[in-house]
Amino acid sequence: MSQLKPFRAYRPRPELAAQVAAVPYDVVNTQEAAELAKGNPHSFLHVGRPEIDLPTGIDVHADEVYAKGVANLRGLIERGALFHENTPCLYVYQQRMGDHVQAGLVGLCSVEEYETGAIKRHEFTRKDKDDDRTRHVTEQAANAEPVFLTYKAVPYIDHIVNDIRKQIPVYDVVTPDGIGHTVWVVSGETVVYELVHLFNGVDALYIADGHHRTAAAIRFGQACRAKAKAQGIPLDGDEPFESFMAVVFPHDQLKIMDYNRVVKDLNGLSQDAFLTKVRETFDVAVSAHRAAQAPTTFGMYLGGTWYELKARPGSFPASDPVRGLDVSILQDNLLNPILGIDDPRTNTRIDFVGGIRGMDELERRVKDGCAVAFSVYPTSLTQLMSVADAGEVMPPKSTWFEPKLRSGLLVRMYEG
């Protein structure tokens, strides 16, 4: 079963929603965040990236940064930019990017279900980022940004959500990137009960995006639980710290884009020698295409020319849910043995480019000094779920979800 509980969100006054809504903290750096929030005191980037309100160059992990995030969140509430919902509700959050539309439900999911494996992950997290987000959650006493989960679609849940989407939304915002963000409040007791009951029949939830936000919420919940037990406080499992805010989307509505690679040098090889080694494992041909056209094929930009690489049958274990992924095939057959990228999590010679930036960005990175770029065919939702169901994890930077959730439209404070 899967928990999805209603809650009393803090959310913007409708006339301020477009000003409050902000990109997630982890898709911009400090300078980009400062530019986006410039002249806009309501931007939620003041909460997610509070260093933008402190002297330039400050350590983003300094005590003052976390304190500023707390002050900025409280400021949004105190001046009425965010108000507290009167009753516990669920919310429908729809996104539109061109012709692509996805609609999910926002509610509270269970810390215990993550601990028992009913909420499944497909990535490792980095301790430094876990520590950072855990401190944000702890000091703000809030889920300031939602986790992005998915589940195997249930037609009757789709039916109910589609009926809700026929009603008048509380927010209908088009952000500067052209993506539409629309929110409906689900407050009727009957429909809330029905949705909660239907999710009780969902076998598992899967983390799509936001592994570090999830880990932070889990660590906060576990710390609060341990503290309460140490103080002899009786617990019933329904405490606020036993849940965290998430948007849950049906799997068949989500869009995963390619997550591409650039490498700074050819590991001491000339271009000709490098191509010779690549041809030992891949079929290589000059190509008119830049993006990878099919699974187990890759685009490669080298010396001003695009090539298509086709992995040969038998060069990878196709039945293995992890090693059969395109990102694994590239890593195991080229990046590691030829270019010496032994651990893409820590090796500083490799960088990753989300598919939303397009093939022009790969060419630009090579022209600006990188030696070679690779375009990778997108991982599928089926592959993601297979890896998670097997209790395995994907290589780093395997999935790039678009569109990204906007922060600030719905905030959960742990007070209730």
Instruction: Tell me whether residue 343 is exposed, middle or buried, using C-beta atoms within 10 angstroms of its C-beta: 0 to 12, 13 to 18, 19 or more.
Output: exposed
Question: Average pLDDT of 241-267?
Answer: 97
Q: What is d(CA 274, CA 243) in angstroms, rounded to the nearest whole number?
A: 51
pLDDT at 397 over 90: no
Q: What is the predicted pLDDT for the residue at 374?
A: 98
69 part of a folded domain: yes
391 part of a folded domain: no
Q: What is d(CA 24, CA 26) in angstroms, rounded to the nearest whole number?
A: 6
Do the beta carbons of residue 44 and residue 21 sit within 8 Å?
yes
Q: What's the sign of the alpha-carbon dihedral 195, 198, 200, 204?
A: negative
Q: What is the predicted pLDDT for the residue at 165?
A: 98
35 & 179 share domain: yes
Q: What is the predicted pLDDT for the residue at 131?
A: 94
Do the beta carbons of residue 282 and residue 359 sit within 8 Å?
no
Q: What is d(CA 184, CA 187) in angstroms, rounded to the nearest whole number?
A: 9
229 part of a folded domain: yes
272 & 237 share domain: no
Do the beta carbons of residue 280 and residue 375 sit within 8 Å?
no
126 & 275 share domain: no
Residue with tokens 């065919």: 377
SS3 of the chain: the string is CCCCECECCEEECHHHHHHHCECCHHHCCHHHHHHHHCCCCCCCHHHHCHHHHCCCCCCCCCHHHHHHHHHHHHHHHHCCCEEECCCCEEEEEEEEECCEEEEEEEEEEEHHHHHHCCEECCCCCCHHHHHHHHHHHHHHCEECCCEEEEECCCHHHHHHHHHHCCCCCCEEEECCCCCEEEEEEECCHHHHHHHHHHHHCCCCEEEEECHHHHHHHHHHHHHHHHHHHHCCCCCCCCCHHHEEEEEEEEHHHCCEECEEEEECCCCCCCHHHHHHHHCCCEEEEECCCCCCCCCCEEEEEECCEEEEEEECCCCCCCCCCCCCCHHHHHHHHHHCCCCCCCCCCCCCCEEEEEHHHHHHHHHHHHHCCCCEEEEECCCCHHHHHHHHHCCCCCCCCCCEECCCCCECCCEEECCC
Which residues is 259 bridged to in the sheet? 354
pLDDT tens per residue, range 116-148: 999 999 988 878 889 999 999 999 999 999 999
Q: What is d(CA 36, CA 88) in angstroms, rounded to the nearest whole number?
A: 32
130 & 196 share domain: yes
Q: What is d(CA 157, CA 159) in angstroms, rounded to the nearest whole number?
A: 5
184 & 247 share domain: yes
Q: What is d(CA 172, CA 179) in angstroms, rounded to the nearest whole number?
A: 11
CATH at 300: 3.30.1760
328 & 407 share domain: no
Number of domains in the chain: 2
40 part of a folded domain: yes
291 & 236 share domain: no
397 part of a folded domain: no
Q: What is the predicted pLDDT for the residue at 279?
A: 97
Q: What is the predicted pLDDT for the residue at 269?
A: 98
Q: Which residues contact 69 (CB under 8 A, 6 or more apart)?
A: 46, 47, 48, 50, 136, 139, 140
18 part of a folded domain: yes
Domain carrying residue 319: 259-377
Q: What is the predicted pLDDT for the residue at 312?
A: 96
270 & 190 share domain: no
4 part of a folded domain: no
Question: Average pLDDT of 160-174?
Answer: 98
Q: What is d(CA 222, CA 239) in angstroms, rounded to the nearest whole number?
A: 11
Q: Residue 395 corresponds to which tokens in the numbers above?
A: 């290589």
Q: How confident is the model at residue 208 (pLDDT cuts 50, 70, 90)?
A: very high
215 & 129 share domain: yes
325 & 249 share domain: no
Question: Average pLDDT of 38-43?
Answer: 97
Greatest distance between any 2 Cα atoms in the chain? 70
238 & 291 share domain: no
392 part of a folded domain: no
For the entire predicted model, the pTM comes to 0.91
Q: What is the predicted pLDDT for the residue at 416?
A: 54
pLDDT at 47 over 90: yes
21 & 151 share domain: yes
